A = this chain, B = another copy of it.
């Protein structure tokens, strides 16, 4: 099965591209393999790419002044990730993107995406529609963060993404939910 199938299906959920447009889109994709613990984005460097995961798992996290890690994104197959602020504004990244497993990713450069979007209307539509969906989802996470207890947030996540919760280390999940690893441990033992 082609490594492009996933991302093309993803697009097809929103818009229809002609064969030649698909060709063009594929031509801007760069295939990259990364080993577990390898960094794909690092603070100080511009996050050049939108990254799509074909196989594997990646997290994006922020390292604060006290050396604590705060995970913004946990991504697995068929998900996108990047330091979005850096990618869009062409400024040095503030976050790390680190492979949690050996992974196969497809990368598309900012300039190439913009160039294609300016020419191909349906591709622009795809990114618009998809980003709007992500945005709606982001509000849900915000609500959860400001209104739920740690225990509720933990179970909400585990119920929503059981496959991810069992796949990533607990301290990563903890730093994603804004809970200490010890508290997660206690929440689990309580049940």
A residues within 8 Å of B by Cβ?
A: 62, 64, 68, 70, 72-73, 84-85, 87-89, 117-118, 121, 124-125, 127-128, 131-143, 145-147, 175-178
Contacts and interface: CB of A to CB of B under 8 A. Distances in A.
A88 B128 CA distance: 12
Given A121-B121, A145-B178, A135 B135 contact: yes
A121 to B, nearest CB: 5
Contacts of A145: 142, 145-146, 178
A62 B148 CA distance: 12
B135 A134 contact: yes
Question: Can you tell how many copies of this chain the complex includes?
Answer: 2
A89 B165 CA distance: 27
A73 B88 CA distance: 22
Given A84-B136, A117-B125, A127-B128, A143 B89 contact: no
A62 B138 CA distance: 14
B84 A147 contact: no
Contact of A135 (B121, B131, B177, B178): B131
A128 B133 CA distance: 11
A123 to B, nearest CB: 10
B128 A70 contact: no
A125 B146 CA distance: 32
Given A70-B146, A84-B132, A131-B131, 19 more contacts: A62-B143, A72-B139, A84-B139, A85-B137, A85-B140, A88-B132, A88-B133, A88-B136, A121-B124, A124-B124, A124-B125, A125-B128, A127-B132, A131-B135, A135-B138, A138-B139, A142-B145, A146-B176, A146-B178
